Amino acid sequence: MDDDLLRALGAEVMRIAARRTEGYAGSVLDYSAFRVLWRLADDGPRTLGELGEALQLERSTVSRQVRGCVDRGLVERVAGDDDRSHRVRATAAGLEAYRHDLAVRGVAWSGALSALGEERAYALVRDLRAFNDGLDAARGRPAR
């Protein structure tokens, strides 16, 4: 593979990665709270281990982030089905803050996709999926 191509791809991937922790004007959540609430809103109540796996974070990091969310009233701890596996779930206030920030992010992302045009936007998503699947395959991991 051409070294210039690999460097150019690496530079663009790094630009995207740097944006992941950027704030958006009008947001009410920090990045870690947004991600925790994203998983809980999509997946429902989860153990810390399940959250860590979904977010690809160490358990200690997830524990610290969840504690911050609990302190802010965004999530709450609930007993699991077997009384040993405590779970966390989003509170009504957490879901409201998540939906607010999702809409704020949606405006920025929609603007970027609109600038590409619908055909190129769908092609981008398709190509990113194929690239990620290729990376998974190269590392011996199943595609998601």
27-138: CATH topology:
Arc Repressor Mutant, subunit A (1.10.10)
> Mean pLDDT lowest for which of 17-26, 77-86, 122-131?
77-86
Express each pLDDT in 70-95 by its tens digit. Answer: 999 999 999 866 666 789 999 999 99
Contact of 16 with 112, CB cutoff 8 Å: no
**Domain segments of the chain: what residues?**
27-138
Contact of 111 with 119, CB cutoff 8 Å: no
Q: Model's pTM, two decimal places?
A: 0.79
DSSP 38-62: HHHHHH-SB-HHHHHHHHT--HHHH
Contact of 35 with 55, CB cutoff 8 Å: yes
C-alpha–C-alpha distance, residues 30 and 144, integer Å = 27
pLDDT of residue 131: 92
pLDDT of residue 82: 66
- Which secondary structure element, helix H or strand E, spans residue 90, and what is its range? strand 87-90
